[in-house]
């Protein structure tokens, strides 16, 4: 079931239509970015939109997410969390569309080969404005960004935006990009290591032309709650 299966008349039934939009965050070239696509409808052309689609009858939210994500971006199997539901009657000029929004995190290296770069744009968060982005999607992205920052402060959610193995500097860098400030290297390492959430792999990163750094991984498969990472 694709969203194109739905003819415009579903927007004029006696009940609202339910859609899903997805805010995909990734760190690309040292910048926090969101995955967007060019708007293709008369009310979004010339602007960017979030990947999204209509939720089909009988389809669970998880199933919708997988279907819409893959159909729109080619990406599969990434970490997601429900963000919120936006339902103002005038947010889409086609009719009353209530949108259930998820946000997702992905390591850039894991999806750059899967996506079609002719239909997909990685927009830095600093360029997210209502001028460039259609509907209420700019508002949604900024709300998702808040939630991301919040969650990064007290869970290990960051693991989903990093490769399996990473250096402490890479880890610190992602925190710095998301929080928009720098941290002291010694205090950062002390704190992260004291939390016991990551472990050494014993491997060293030889890809830099500088002193090789120890690679770490998260000990736990799942996202864990913690008091005060940052």
Q: Give contact residues for its own copies (rule: CB under 8 A).
A: 6, 10, 13-18, 54-61, 64, 82, 84-89, 96, 98, 100
Q: What are phi and psi of 80, to 5 degrees?
A: -140, 160
Q: Which stretch binds DNA (CB under 7 A): 61-69, 101-109, 118-126, 167-175?
A: 167-175
Q: How far is the CB of 182 from DNA (least distance, A)?
A: 10
Measured distance CA(156)–CA(86) in Å, rounded: 27
Residue reference for tokens 């970490």: 79
Q: Applying CB under 7 A, does 177 fall inside the site for DNA?
A: no
Residue 181: name its binding partner from its own copies, DNA, none (Cβ under 5 to 8 Å by kind): none
Q: Applying CB under 7 A, does 185 fall inside the site for DNA?
A: yes
Q: How far is the CB of 211 from DNA (least distance, A)?
A: 3
Q: How far is the CB of 158 from its own copies (least distance, A)?
A: 19
Q: C-alpha angle with apex 110: 193 to 160, nearest 5 degrees?
A: 35
Q: What are phi and psi of 157, to 5 degrees?
A: -55, -25
Q: Applying CB under 7 A, does 199 fall inside the site for DNA?
A: no
Q: Taking Cα atoms as reference points, which of 22, 17, 20 lies closest to residue 6?
A: 17
* DSSP three-state, residue 33: strand
Q: How far is the CB of 188 from DNA (least distance, A)?
A: 9
Tell me the CB-side half-sphere exposure of residue 45, using CA atoms within 13 A. Answer: 3
Q: 85-124 mask for DNA (x: CB under 7 A)? A: ----------------------------------------
Alpha-carbon dihedral 211, 105, 158, 146, rounded to 10 degrees: 120
Continuous H helices in the chain? 61-73, 108-111, 137-154, 168-179, 185-195
Q: Between residues 66 and 127, which has the closer beta carbon with respect to its own copies?
A: 66
Q: How far is the CB of 48 from DNA (least distance, A)?
A: 32
Q: How far is the CB of 81 from its own copies (least distance, A)?
A: 10
Q: Which stretch binds DNA (CB under 7 A): 64-72, 81-89, 132-140, 186-194?
A: 186-194
Residue 211: name its binding partner from its own copies, DNA, none (Cβ under 5 to 8 Å by kind): DNA
The number of angstroms, rounded, from the C-alpha of 14 to the middle of its chain's C-alpha atoms is: 33
CB distance 51 to 115 below 8 Å: no
CB distance 215 to 203 below 8 Å: yes
Q: Applying CB under 7 A, does 212 fall inside the site for DNA?
A: yes
Provide the binding-site residues for DNA, judged by CB under 7 A. Answer: 167-169, 184-187, 189-191, 206, 208-214, 228
């Amino acid at each position: 079931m694709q969203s194109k299966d739905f003819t415009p008349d579903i927007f004029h039934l006696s009940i609202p239509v339910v859609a899903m939009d997805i805010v995909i965050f990734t760190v690309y070239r040292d910048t926090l970015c969101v995955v967007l696509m060019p708007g293709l409808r008369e009310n979004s052309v010339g602007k960017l939109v979030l990947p999204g689609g209509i939720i089909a009858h009988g389809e669970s939210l998880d199933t919708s997410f997988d279907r819409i994500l893959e159909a729109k971006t080619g990406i599969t199997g990434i970490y997601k969390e429900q963000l919120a539901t936006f339902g103002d009657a005038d947010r889409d000029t086609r009719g009353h569309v209530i949108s259930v929004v998820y946000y997702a995190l992905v390591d850039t290296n894991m999806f750059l080969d899967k996506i079609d770069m002719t239909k997909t744009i990685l927009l830095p968060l600093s360029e997210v404005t209502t001028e460039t982005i259609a509907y209420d999607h700019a508002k949604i992205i900024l709300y998702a960004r808040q939630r991301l920052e919040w969650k990064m402060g007290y869970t290990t959610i960051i693991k989903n935006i990093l490769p399996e193995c990473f250096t402490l500097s890479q880890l610190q860098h992602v925190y710095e990009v998301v929080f928009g400030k720098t941290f002291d290297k010694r205090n950062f390492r002390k704190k992260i290591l004291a939390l016991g959430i990551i472990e050494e792999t014993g491997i060293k990163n030889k890809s830099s032309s500088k002193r090789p750094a120890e690679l770490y991984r998260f000990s736990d498969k799942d996202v864990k709650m913690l008091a005060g990472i940052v």
